[in-house]
Structures are given as structure tokens and as C-alpha cells.
Amino acid sequence: MTAKGGLLRQLEAQLHEALAEGTEVVEVHGFKVHIWRTPDPFYRNVAVPVRPVSDWPTAIAALRESFARHERRARVEFFAELWPGLETTLEAGGFGVEARAPVMAAHHPAAGATGPGPPVELLDASTPLEMLRACLEGAAAAFHEPTAILAPGELERLQDGLAKGTLRSAVVRVEGAPVCGASLAGRGAVAELLGVWTHPSYRRRGLARAACVRLLRDFFAGEGRTAWLTAGSVAGAGLYRELGFSACGTHLDCADQLDHAAAHPADS
């Protein structure tokens, strides 16, 4: 295996561990299916490939059936370079690529802007619930995902992750209200940078950079060895390159296109 392939396997292992937290996990024909207790957040109801199989059509049919039993839309996430041909196989089985993003990794502390920056606060188990709720509301507005990010139980999950150390979060506040935030998910040597958001009125001021720098510096000052992320936009990729990240792969998010209405009866 190449060095890049070995790195992607490390990132994949951390991703699988994070997805399994709090979900019901069932292995069917080469996939691990993660079922969250509710349909939303939709991105927690997802399958990942774990081993090659000789009959992918049968595996995909079993995958779809597993999601259907729980009244969920079937979704599959994976790193394309580790599973060559799977994208084509999924498309032949009725799945479509809903997101394709570069995977980026860093192995050293983030570079920071020179001079004083905005004050960055770290959240922890003692952070008041009102503050955590305000952070989730800010992220939901920035990502236009209120149904998922503000789903029942998400506030408690955030608090629990901070308490257990499986999640590190940083925010920037203006007049007491959070206007920017970022998180690192994972415990140990590998963690994923995610949930980087900024209120539209406060963008292009270096706030997201400051939040990411604080998280990454603390991570690498401890046992952190590799931070990774999926860059959802060109602008985001540019910021992450400035922080020391470089592309190492491709993340695909595929979703069932055949039975979408049946999986979401409330939408019809």
C-alpha cells in the first residue's frame, strides 16, 4: 500500500469509530450500516464499506433493505481511492453521488495570523446549556440545516462529547453571542476538523481561521498526530491549505435515488 493509501486507512478508521458512536451498527454483506435513533440528523444514518465482496449487487440490495427496515434513506460514505470501482457499482445499483469533496490532512500545528486575533473560547463540560444551544443554532443557520443540527438530542450529544473528550469545540463571540465555531471530533492521534461555521454578517474577518488555529494547536500540543477534513468549498479548501492541510484523497457521499419518497413519507 502506498503512503497515501496508508494515511487514508488511518483516517477511515477514525471515521468509522466516530460514526459508530451512539448508533446501532449492523454488518451486511461487506458494509457496516449505522442507524441513528431518529431519521435526522440524516448524516448519522449511513453505511460504510468494510470489506470487498464478490457480489456487489446482492450486497447493495441487502444494504437498501437494512435501511428500509428502519425507514431511512440508504446512504454510503467512503474514500474513493480505497474502494476503486465502488462509485460505479453504486450508481449501477440506483445510488447517486450527492457530495464529492477533497480529503485533506495536516500533521503539524496550524499557522496563525500575525498580530492579535479575535478571542477564541473553548467549550467544555461546564459550558452552560444555553451557550451550547446558541452555538448549535448559529451552526444551523450558517449551514441552512436546522432540521438536522437542531434535531432532538443534539444538544445533549454535544454536551456528552465535550464531557468525554471525543469532541473539542471552539467559538468566537461578539457581544456575548457566538458568531463562529469549529470542532475536532476524535480522541487519540487522529481527529476530524468539522462543523466550521461563521455567521454571514461576520465572514471574511479571520474568525474561522482563529477558531481552527486554536483547536489544531491544542490538538498537536497533546497526543494529536493527524488532523483531517473534507473541504466543502473552494474557499474552504484555500483556508485549510493556509493552515497546513494538503489533499490526500476524495470523499464520496452517495444516496439511494430509487426509493427516496418511501424513505421519507413525510416529504411526499
Q: Domain residues of the chain, as ranges?
A: 3-101+251-267, 121-224
Superfamily holding 121-224: Gcn5-related N-acetyltransferase (GNAT) (3.40.630.30)
Domain 3-101+251-267 identical in fold to domain 121-224: yes
- pTM score: 0.91
pLDDT at 236: 77
Banded pLDDT at 122 (limits 50, 70, 90): very high
pLDDT at 115: 57
Mean pLDDT of 116-140: 93
Assign domain 3-101+251-267 one CATH number from 3.40.630.30, 3.40.50.150, 3.40.47.10, 1.20.210.10: 3.40.630.30
Q: pLDDT tens, 56-99?
A: 999 999 999 999 999 999 999 999 999 999 999 999 999 999 99
CA distance linking residue 154 with residue 157, whole number of Å: 5
Q: pLDDT tens, 17-31?
A: 999 999 999 999 999
